Amino acid sequence: MHQGKKALALLGTASAIPLLLLAISALAPASEGQEERRPGTPDLIGSHAQQMLAEGRRTFRYDTFGDQAFWSGVLQIQEALRSVSPRTALAVGLKVDAEAVPRGLLARADLDDPAVTAELLRRNAVVGLRGFFSQSGNLREVGITCALCHSTVDNSAAPGIGRRLDGWPNRDLNVGAIVDLSPNLQPVATLLGVDVGTVHTVLQSWGPGKFDAELFLDGKAFRPDGKSAATLIPPAFGLAGVDGHTFTGWGSVTYWNAFVANLEMHGQGTFWDPRLNDPVKFPVAARNGFYDVRSEQDLITPKLAALQFYQLAIPAPAPPPGSFNAAAAARGRTVFSTAGCDSCHVPPLYTEPGWNRHTAEEIGIDSFQADRSPDGKYRTTPLKGLWAHSQGGFYHDGRFATLRDVVDHYDAHFVLSLSEQQKTDLVEFLKSL
Ligand code: HEC
Ligand code: HEC
């Protein structure tokens, strides 16, 4: 009121108008979409963001954190890879980055020749695998990167060969079969306190698109019903704004990145989580001191900031045009609300803002996987980009083959009594996210 009167008084003289405008623009906060920095000052935050993005992408795609000391130094996996042809590599789900090799080379290459695999590794073209070569050109060591499980390619050159899709889970990748190629699995057997035969059985039980991140903590390879305890490889896209990560909410993105780089990839770094010092819940972790890892050289901690930044910048991919029925999806959006789905999957994050964990009973499934985590809960999965990872099924272990199966499960569990039309519409809505 007071300021308004003052402005009116000023308006009395025409000469005061430019002055007034100047005063307003100086006081007004930068409006949306406008740069907040003053002209002429360097955009420190913007350039820092660009730098973090580039560094994080490099780490996500190419960094092994020194884990070749484990995969090659201990397991000797390079010995096996020397005789693996590109065709075999593609068959176990490995992907080739077509942009890392000249077009002609791929067209001419003999996909049955293991020497071509070495050449692809030399050019850094096998997604998620890094080859290290001796001066004479021999494959000396192999390490793995985050991209192994959390990237695929768009198949633009051929099946399994194309441009990288960072953050997309590789549901073709048979991690167990690849690790099982290692000539020396005794260290894994010793770690788990079992014999090598058992390690083979466990690795072969995972199947494509799955991995068991908790096996090396609790040694539980099978569920009570006898099926594999492995979970699906989740997407690493669309995670910004989401609180708890992993299917069972172990912690934040950067928590889990440190966990994986140290404990699963066996990189050289530092890791601290006293929750793992629990001989009953996590006997393998407690026995091996996984709750307090201190490597001589820390190749992980300096990379965590940019790695997290990059992951949070990866958007969930939009569904391709025509991949769902738009009218049905619009009706399905209403069903999503009336059925109460959006009380947990809160749009537009499609998980709860805040603490997004639930008991097994709440969602009507068994608690086996939840019980293998510190809080004993399941995390509400963010649903954006569902269409891009339908292969392998839904829920942490892929127990529901299709979205319709998921909807049928909720219909029974929450006693929703959805009509056939409502179910179809809801599925179309889920495909549209
Ligand atoms: C061998 C395959 C594999 C590799 C390599 C791997 N991950 Fe994962 N990642 C998984 C699996 C499986 C899960 C699910 C774990 C769970 O829920 O217990 C997961 C979960 C995640 C999540 C949680 C996603 C969500 O929905 O909240 C993030 C983030 C992630 N990984 C990032 C990374 C990063 C960064 C790296 C490299 C440092 C990496 N992962 C390396 C297989 C892998
Ligand atoms: C009580 C909270 C809650 C409610 C209500 C709920 N969900 Fe979920 N939803 C979850 C949790 C937790 C998971 C993770 C389950 C798992 O991975 O085992 C999940 C998983 C899913 C998934 C699988 C995602 C994936 O990538 O595998 C879909 C799809 C889904 N919910 C859709 C729905 C729909 C549709 C409704 C309404 C009919 C609904 N949810 C109601 C908590 C909830």
Q: What is the CATH number of the domain that holds 417?
A: 1.10.760.10
**Ligand 2 in reach of 409 Cβ (< 6 A):** no
Structure tokens given for 403:
């979205």
Q: Give every CB contact of residue 379 below 8 A, 6+ residues apart in sequence.
A: 244, 245, 246, 247, 248, 249, 351, 356, 357, 358
Q: Do residues 336 and 418 lie in contact, with contact meaning Cβ atoms separated by under 8 Å? A: no
pLDDT tier at 16, thresholds 50, 70, 90: very low
- In a 13 Å sphere around the CA of 327, the CA atoms on its Cβ side amount to 1
Nearest CA to ligand 2 atom 43: 344
Q: How far apart are CA 285 and CA 155, in angstroms?
A: 39
Look at residue 66 and tell me whether its pLDDT is greater than 90: yes
Ligand with an atom nearest the CA of residue 248 = 1
Predicted pLDDT at 19: 44
Q: How far apart are CA 423 and CA 192, in angstroms?
A: 44
Element (H, E) at 280: none
Placement of tokens 């100086």 in the chain: 26
How many other β-carbons are positioned within 10 Å of the β-carbon of residue 51?
Answer: 12
* Longest CA span, the chain: 93
Q: How far apart are CA 362 and CA 377, in angstroms?
A: 10
Predicted pLDDT at 38: 74
- End-of-domain residue from the set 142, 173, 204: 173
DSSP symbols for 39-105: TTS--HHHHHHHHHHHHHHHHHHH--TTTHHHHTTTT-HHHHHTT--HHHHHHTT--EEGGGS-HHH
Q: How far apart are CA 352 and CA 378, in angstroms?
A: 12
**Ligand 1 in reach of 266 Cβ (< 6 A):** no
**Ligand 1 in reach of 245 Cβ (< 6 A):** yes
Report yes or no on 25 lying in a domain: no
Atom of ligand 2 nearest to the CA of 403: 29
pLDDT tens figures, 414-424? 999 999 999 99
Q: Tell me how far CA of residue 168 lies from CA of 37, 147, 165, 228, 256, in angstroms.
A: 35, 9, 6, 23, 17
Report yes or no on 62 lying in a domain: no
Predicted pLDDT at 26: 46
Instruction: For residues 6-24, give the mean pLDDT.
Output: 44
Predicted pLDDT at 135: 94
For the chain, what is the domain count? 2
Report yes or no on 93 lying in a domain: yes
Ligand with an atom nearest the CA of residue 368 = 2
Look at residue 263 and tell me whether its pLDDT is greater than 70: yes
Look at residue 2 and tell me whether its pLDDT is greater than 60: no
Q: Position 63: which residue type? A: D
Atom of ligand 2 nearest to the CA of 357: 12
Q: Position 404: which residue type? A: R
Nearest CA to ligand 2 atom 11: 380
Report yes or no on 290 lying in a domain: no
Burial of 140 (0-12, 13-18, 19+ CB in 10 A): middle
Q: Tell me how far CA of residue 304 lies from CA of 255, 300, 404, in angstroms.
A: 9, 7, 38
Report yes or no on 412 lying in a domain: yes
Element (H, E) at 217: helix 215-218
Atom of ligand 2 nearest to the CA of 362: 1
Instruction: For residues 231-250, give the mean pLDDT.
Output: 98
Report yes or no on 151 lying in a domain: yes
Burial of 59 (0-12, 13-18, 19+ CB in 10 A): buried
**Ligand 1 in reach of 150 Cβ (< 6 A):** yes
- In a 13 Å sphere around the CA of 408, the CA atoms on its Cβ side amount to 9
Instruction: For residues 352-380, give the mean pLDDT.
Output: 98
pLDDT tens figures, 93-104? 999 999 999 988
Predicted pLDDT at 184: 95
Predicted pLDDT at 104: 85
Work out the mean pLDDT of the chain and round it to a whole number: 92
CA proximity to 312, closest of 167, 144, 213 = 167
Predicted pLDDT at 32: 55
pLDDT tier at 79, thresholds 50, 70, 90: very high
DSSP symbols for 105-168: HHHH--TT-HHHHHHHHHTT-BTTEEEEE-TTS-EEEEEE-THHHHEEE--SSBTTEESEEET-
Q: How far apart are CA 160 and CA 175, in angstroms?
A: 16
Instruction: For residues 71-87, give the mean pLDDT.
Output: 94
Report yes or no on 306 lying in a domain: no
Predicted pLDDT at 395: 98
Dist. CA 56 → ligand 2 center (Å): 30
**Ligand 1 in reach of 262 Cβ (< 6 A):** no
Instruction: For residues 167-193, give the mean pLDDT.
Output: 95
Nearest CA to ligand 1 atom 21: 246
- End-of-domain residue from the set 173, 206, 235: 173
pLDDT tier at 326, thresholds 50, 70, 90: very high
Predicted pLDDT at 134: 94
**Ligand 1 in reach of 265 Cβ (< 6 A):** yes
Domain that holds residue 96: 76-173
- End-of-domain residue from the set 173, 199, 224: 173
**Ligand 2 in reach of 92 Cβ (< 6 A):** no
**Ligand 1 in reach of 260 Cβ (< 6 A):** yes
DSSP symbols for 222-258: B-TTSSB--EEPPP-SS-TT--SBTTTT-B-HHHHHH
pLDDT tens figures, 381-415? 999 999 999 999 999 999 999 999 999 999 999 99
Atom of ligand 2 nearest to the CA of 369: 18
Q: For the CA atoms of 323, 327, 333, 338, what is the dihedral angle to 10 degrees?
A: -140
**Ligand 2 in reach of 363 Cβ (< 6 A):** yes
Dist. CA 360 → ligand 2 center (Å): 11
DSSP symbols for 356-394: -EE-HHHHTS-STTGGGSSS--EE----TTGGGG-TT-B
The dihedral through the CA atoms of 34, 39, 44, 50 has a sign that is positive
**Ligand 1 in reach of 211 Cβ (< 6 A):** yes
**Ligand 2 in reach of 406 Cβ (< 6 A):** yes
Nearest CA to ligand 2 atom 6: 341
Instruction: For residues 280-297, give the mean pLDDT.
Output: 96
Q: How far apart are CA 17 and CA 81, in angstroms?
A: 76
Q: Decide: helix, strand or coil at residue 173.
A: coil
Predicted pLDDT at 40: 77
Nearest CA to ligand 2 atom 40: 341
Q: How far apart are CA 180 and CA 184, in angstroms?
A: 9
Look at residue 23 and tell me whether its pLDDT is greater than 80: no
Report yes or no on 251 lying in a domain: no
Look at residue 286 and tell me whether its pLDDT is greater than 50: yes
CA angle 342, 229, 293 (to 5 degrees): 95
